Amino acid sequence: MHQASDKNKNPNTMIKKIKQKLPWKPIEIVDTESIPKGDMPGDKVNIGPQVIQKAMVIFPKLLDLLIPVLDESPYQRAVVVVCGGSGVGKSGIASLISYYLNNLGLGSYTLSGDNYPHRIPKYNDAERLRVFRKNGIDGLISGGQYSQERLAILKELQESGNDSNKDFISRYPWLSAYQIAGRNGLKNYLGTTNEIDFKELTGIISRFKNGESRIFLKRMGREETELWYDLVDFSDKNVIIIEWTHGNNHNLQGVDIPVFLNSTPRETLEHRRSRNRDGATDSPFTTMVLEIEQDMLISQAPNAKLILSKSGEILSYGDFVKLMIQEQV
């Protein structure tokens, strides 16, 4: 095992130098393309003015939490996660936090959690759909609502991508039982150890925090041939920033500071409509996946050390709860 270099073993000196640079002053960013991004193959990260503004709000608060963690760590190392739902700016904000840390003299590496599902994206998408449909049919059978006639209708709905569409329940009332059972099955797959290799990523965090200087990191593209490992040099790194929807999941161990970028269901829907061509909405199944993920993120919010609203304001957990209640009214 390669241990970190001696320069990281003088905590008092390092922390003292960082404190001398405080309070932190925002850095003017001229060229966002030159900022190192995360390690997800083929990932396109856009860093616009809103993302920069949010990162500037988060960073001073994060430093206040980070410095004591580094001071107490035997190797002056810490792990931060930036988590949240679709379209909240996880990748861009994580990249900027790493950039700001490096500029302060704290070596930082941005790691994408999307490299750690068990399956490449197209197979994972297929498995999600299989889990939903298998559990949906099981629900019809256990409820005594399954028949060959309904199977024929269900097959047509599946082929058109509408078996998860709530609009068809008025025409086929039995479809409600199918969708409820399918959704429950999907909840037991999404963001769980069935879908994601939390153990591997937890092992990486452990090796990093225990001073290893060189660690193999997984790379996962979109094709069967796009799966490999890179040996990454962490000898000059103090912080790993993990950007990932599931970064605040209890199955991921060793995280010091979870940062939650919140987005209400309405805000998420508006963002995805604006991103899609002609304002089109997502498929019914994708919408279901996003709803389940949103519920997971909300349930994990109490564990976050920092919560940022979609509009870029730091929220207490109490303010977060009030915001989500207002959304439901």
Contact (CB, 8 A) for 91 and 81: no
In the chain, which residue ranges form alpha helices assigned H by DSSP? 11-20, 49-72, 90-104, 121-142, 148-159, 175-187, 198-209, 265-275, 284-300, 317-328
pLDDT of 5 higher than 60? no
Distances (CA, A) of 188 to 98, 118, 195, 244, 268: 33, 15, 9, 19, 23
Assess contact for 248 and 300: CB atoms under 8 A: yes
Q: Which residue do the tokens 């995360």 mark?
A: 38
- 77 with 8: CB under 8 angstroms? yes
Q: Is the peptide bond before 49 cis (omega within 30 degrees of 0)?
A: no
Tokens 């890179």 map to which residue? 230
Rounded Cα gap, residues 134 and 74, in angstroms: 49
Distance, CA of 84 to CA of 90 (rounded, Å): 7
Domain definitions of the chain by residue range: 6-23+34-116+197-328, 121-187
Do residues 141 and 264 touch, judged by C-beta distance below 8 A? no
The pLDDT of residue 52 is: 95
95 contacts 47 by C-beta, under 8 angstroms: yes
Q: Which of 137, 134, 14, 139 is nearest to 70 (CA)?
A: 14
- Categorize the per-residue pLDDT at 1 as very low, low, confident or very high, splitting at 50, 70 and 90: low
State pLDDT tens for residues 9-34: 566 688 888 888 889 999 888 888 88
CATH superfamily of this structure's domain 6-23+34-116+197-328:
P-loop containing nucleotide triphosphate hydrolases (3.40.50.300)
Q: 200 with 116: CB under 8 angstroms?
A: yes
pLDDT at 149 over 90: yes
User: Which of the residue ranges 177-186, 257-266, 293-302 would you say has the lowest mean pLDDT?
Assistant: 257-266
pTM of the entire structure? 0.91
Q: Which residues contact 182 (CB under 8 A, 6 or more apart)?
A: 131, 132, 133, 135, 136, 139, 163, 164
- Residues 132 and 289: beta-carbon distance below 8 Å: no
Q: 110 burial class (0-12, 13-18, 19+ CB within 10 angstroms)? A: buried
Structure tokens at 154: 């269900």
For 233-287, the pLDDT digits (tens) are: 999 999 999 999 999 999 999 999 999 999 876 777 676 666 554 444 689 999 9
d(CA 78, CA 73): 8
